[in-house]
Amino acid sequence: MAENSLYEVMGLTRIVSMDGEAGRSCLEYAAKPEQCHSGGVVQGGFVSGWIDAAMAHALIAKLGDQLVPMTLELKVSFLAPARPGPIFAEGWIVKAGRKVAFVEGSLKDDEGTLLATASSTLMLADRGRVEAASKAAVG
C-alpha cells in the first residue's frame, strides 16, 4: 500500500476475500484510538467508510476494476459501538445492472458482534472517464 494512501488512512489491514462469482468481499481494518471520539468509540464516518469500501470491493470482484463504483446513496444503521481493534467489513451485491448497482454490507468486530449494517445504491462509472475528469479538475 502506498504511504498515506486512503487504505492507510482508513486503517486497512488486509483484503480477506473478494469472491467474483458470489459478488462478495471482506476487508479487515485496524480501528485506531485516533479514529475515536469521546468514550473510545470509533467515529461514524469511519464505520460508514469501511462498509462503503467493502460494498464497492464486492462490485469490483464481480465486474472488474475498469468500473468505478461511485456511491449515490448510503444508509448506515449503527447497532453497537465500534472500538479500537480488528474490524471486519463485508459487502455483497443485491442486484447489478449496466449503470447502477444495489449492494448491502455489515461490520463486525473480531468476536463476531454485529456493529453496523448498510445498504447503498452505486453508479458504475467507466474508470478511464473518471480518471480523465480528475486530471482535468486538478489541471
pLDDT of residue 38: 87
**Residues for the chain: how many in total?**
139
Cα 13 from Cα 30, distance rounded (Å):
6
Distances (CA, A) of 81 to 18, 59, 112: 26, 27, 13
pLDDT digits (tens, 9 = 90+) for 16-30: 999 999 999 999 999
Report the 10 Å Cβ neighbour count for 36: 17
Domain locations in the chain?
Answer: 6-138
Cα 92 from Cα 57, distance rounded (Å):
9
pTM comes to 0.92
CATH among 3.40.50.410, 3.10.129.10, 3.40.50.300, 3.30.160.110 for 6-138: 3.10.129.10
